[in-house]
Amino acid sequence: MSGPADRPSWDDYFMEITFQVARRSTCPRAAVGAVIVREKRILTTGYNGAPAGLAHCTQVGCLMVNDHCVRTLHAEQNAIIQGALHGVDVSGSTIYVTHQPCLICAKMIINAGIERVVYGGDYPDEIAWGFMEEAGIELVKYERRPA
């Protein structure tokens, strides 16, 4: 039987859920997941994929422009949109993301009132990082613990 010492931290718990959400991604270039949490409760989730009702990359291929797939919405965008669509206020929350947010996602995170970003893999976007720091968002690099 596992004891309290084996119990995951809240960040570990929500990041593991985020990695599971990423498995729903429909762009083969990157499986990215996002989970928005406030007061230890999941508000919304998102993964990278095509807009609702449109064909996914896994069905028709990636649509590449300037070395980026433009067919998909990013996981952070989808998680924020889910809040807007269903009337869920995400302000004052933490967003858990498998990758560091890009510039567009960083700006959406700022304007959505999200206060903390816990991210896994790096995404080389220093401008995004700078904007989030300037906005006072707490940035936490997550180091996945071995199971």
Just list the catalytic residues: 76
Q: Which long-range contacts (CB under 8 A, 24 or more apart) does 61-67 make?
A: 62/27, 62/28, 62/29
Tokens 């940035």 appear where?
139
Q: 78 near 57, Cβ under 8 Å? A: no
Residue 87, C-beta contacts closer than 8 angstroms, at least 6 positions apart: none
**33-38/94-99 β-pairing:** antiparallel
Distance CA 109, CA 119 (A): 13
